[in-house]
Amino acid sequence: MVKRNADNKTLAQSWHPETVQVRGGTKRSEFGETSEAIFLNSGFCYDNAEIAESRFNGEAPGYVYSRYLNPTLDMLEQRLTLMEEGAEACCVMGSGMAAVFASLMSHLRAGDHIIAHRVLFGSCHYILAEICPRFGMEVSFIDGTQPNAWEEAMRPNTKAVFIETPANPTLDVLDIAHIAGICNAHQVMLIVDNILAGNGAQAPLLLGADVVVYSTTKHMDGQGRTLGGAILGSESFIKETVLPFHRHTGPALSPFNAWVVLKSLETYSLRMARHQSNALAVANALEAHPDVAHVHYPLLPSHPHYDVARKQMNGGGNMIAFSVQGGKKAAFSLMNNLQLIDISNNLGDSKSLITHPATTTHATLTTEAQEAIGIGAGMMRLSVGLEHVDDLIADLINALR
């Protein structure tokens, strides 16, 4: 008899994160496979017409179509729900941006007002600045690092607050509990893009947020292979609001990609611990270098929002923002002199990657807008990987010369 309790939810809730990451949500088929199987199928067959009817009207459990759900996607949704403290349900999607878009569009309508911190991942900024206004929504971008700014920006028609913390690429840290308190008082939904901190390093739902979004493309895959995304929150929000939107608009995740992420999650805690210890050591080495103008890493005491970071993060993530004197020319020269670290705008990969936000991910902003939010011409964003930290520091020091 094959042990079939692999998907026993009550049992899984008592497990530590490392155990959940290896076993949470696993469903075994009649063959008793050890590793999770890939169900690379679009449709399902029913033994009779009555069963088809009862699955469609929701009376019987079971799958109907992979645009909705399939066993591999289901395993990933359950594992992510178990991993995210405070989450009751999850919906996985084809990319992080599909998840961000659905977290807003599944419930907002014309006339609604959204507030966002002014530093955001480029595509999140595009959705809020360009797409939402086209559908009759108003969007305010504020300096969310100022505690009073949130209350001041609230309007009677405010329906959602969207934040990223740490924010990409400046690594501003926003006080989630403080913002959640204001949102709660105004009955406004707080959506947190938790990608830069990562699951485990920060638990927005426990701090009062309503919804968390991830790009599984980043640390969850962690090896730069697949695109994917996820929305987590209450059972009612996911089931009643997100699922109908997701099912009928079609941003479905490929079961193959879901399977890759399931396998990667088995090493998630191990990898994140190394990402974080490497990043802290690299941040310290950069800060000690005379040619580095400034270094932002949430858990460096010199970070302007260090106290907030200490309060809400139990790991600093793997992202560092740093600047050199001499603007774009000096930054390009440093990047071109690196022999190990790759120039790439991706992040959360086992390979260390560096990018120049002003000319790539945030190039659509004017120079004034970039400078206003702290993206200087000499600033670079480094995603610290899993290489030996001494090799990473040597590469940077050598390139700084």
Ligand X SMILES: *Cc1c(COP(=O)(O)O)cnc(C)c1O
Q: How far is the CB of 229 from ligand X (least distance, A)?
A: 5
Q: Does 195 bind ligand X (CB under 6 A)?
A: yes
For 122-196, list the strands marked E by DSSP: 138-142, 158-164, 189-193
Closer to ligand X by CB, 190 or 195: give it: 195
| Dihedral of alpha carbons 379, 132, 254, 195, sign | positive
- Cis (ω within 30 of 0) for the bond into 166? yes
What contacts 24+ positions apart, CB below 8 Å, involve 299-305? 303/171, 303/173, 304/145, 305/145, 305/172, 305/173, 305/174
- Asked if residue 264 binds ligand X (CB under 6 A), the reply is no
| Tokens 């969310």, located at residue | 144
> Which parts of 299-358 interact with ligand X (CB under 6 A)?
347
Least gap, CB of 97 to ligand X (angstroms): 4
**Does residue 230 bind ligand X (CB under 6 A)?**
no
Asked if 178 touches ligand X (CB under 6 A), the answer is no
List the x/- string, 203-222, binding to ligand X by CB under 6 A: ------------x-xx----
Number of residues counted as binding ligand X (CB under 6 A): 18
Which residue type, as a one-letter code, is found at position 340?
A: L
How far is 155 from 359, CA to CA, in rounded Å?
35
Give the residue closest to ligand X by C-beta: 96
Beta carbon nearer to ligand X, 308 or 347 = 347
Select from 24-32, 191-199, 305-313, 380-388 the region that touches ligand X (CB under 6 A): 191-199
β-pair type (292-296, 319-324): antiparallel
Residue 66 or 168: the one with the smaller Cβ distance to ligand X is 168
Alpha-carbon gap, residue 357 to 192, rounded angstroms: 22
- Cβ closest to ligand X, residue 76 vs residue 330: 76
Q: Which residues bind ligand X (CB under 6 A)?
A: 95-97, 100, 121, 123-124, 164, 168, 193, 195-196, 215, 217-218, 227, 229, 347
